[in-house]
Amino acid sequence: MTAWPRRFPIAIDPVWFWRNIATSWSRCAGITNAARYMLWLYSARLPRACQRDWTIRFRYPEPIGSLALRLRSNDGADGFIRSEVFENQCYRLPLAEAPATVLDLGANIGLSTIYFSRLFPGAQLACVEPEPQNLRLLAQNLELNGVDAAVFAAAVDVRDGTVRMERASRDYGHRIAGAEIASSAGQFEVPALSVRSLLRQLGWTRVGLVKIDIEGHETCLLTEAFEWLEQVDALCLEYHEHGAEEHLARIARQFGFAAPRRLPWGIWLLVR
């Protein structure tokens, strides 16, 4: 596990510093990328003129293999997602067979989509992400790693239209603003697409795997106009509200899934 330095003037923890050096040698492709990894990791302590985006090449055991990732110096937000996806492998799911299609709802900068492309090399991929700066890096990361995926610059919602997003302090926490939340300067408006519309545009009649990480809006997505679940073979999600097991158990009974399973790293899984 990596220690993410915070932006305040205290001495660097020497234990974690040497652990991070060990990680850089074990995970990065060569000395140049190891050095870039350390500079990126501790960029909060570097001069403000230091670059914001870094391209770092990593190496992992197969089937992941070599990766080139475009990551931001954003107080560890991109680093947290990288660690979650590639170090902890939170999406290494116990599926009976590889899905033919994967829909990534809340794709952020594309790391989970890249992971699925390596785990399921024959699958068709599609990802949905509303935040413009995340979309910028998502496109770069897919291109750097030769991943062919349909990209929808939108938020997923129960119906098509537009929605207001709340901008979070961390680059992985942006979420749809509830109707009860007043408009503010920290919000931005984006197109919204329902899952039905996404499947129609993709031409998919079934989805082998749907991944959902949409910062609390999953409760609404799985409560209203959710008949699209009839077309889904497996569903993995982060559930951010209380009552996850009870809600997902009702969905499982209604749509013919097995009982929901909670996997490590807080991921819930429903399979047929």
In the block, residue with structure tokens 């060990």: 22
Between CA 195 and CA 159 the distance in angstroms is 8
| CA angle centred on 50, ends 47 and 55, rounded to 5° | 145
DSSP calls for 152-169: E-SEE-SSSEEEEEEPPS
Is the pLDDT reported for residue 205 higher than 50? Answer: yes
Q: Taking residues 84-88, report their average pLDDT.
A: 95
Burial of 249 (0-12, 13-18, 19+ CB in 10 A): middle
Is the pLDDT reported for residue 182 higher than 80? Answer: no
Angle between helices 132-144 and 111-119 (to 10 degrees): 30
| 239 Cβ neighbours under 8 A, 6+ residues apart | 218, 219, 247, 248, 268
Is the pLDDT reported for residue 184 higher than 80? Answer: no
DSSP symbol at 28: B
Between CA 251 and CA 13 the distance in angstroms is 46
What is the average pLDDT value for the chain, to the nearest integer? 91
- Give the model confidence (pLDDT) of 24-63 as tens digits: 999 999 999 999 999 999 887 776 646 689 999 999 999 9
What would the CATH number be for the domain defined by 91-271? 3.40.50.150
Q: Where in the chain is the domain with CATH 3.40.50.150?
A: 91-271
Give the tokens for residue 134.
Answer: 């995340």
Q: Taking residues 136-145, report their average pLDDT.
A: 98
Q: Taking residues 157-161, report their average pLDDT.
A: 97
| 166 Cβ neighbours under 8 A, 6+ residues apart | 174, 175, 176, 177, 181, 186, 187
Give the tokens for residue 125.
Answer: 């991929």
- Give the model confidence (pLDDT) of 208-239 as tens digits: 999 999 988 999 999 999 999 999 999 999 99
Total-model pTM: 0.91
Percent of the chain topping pLDDT 70: 92
Between CA 159 and CA 227 the distance in angstroms is 12
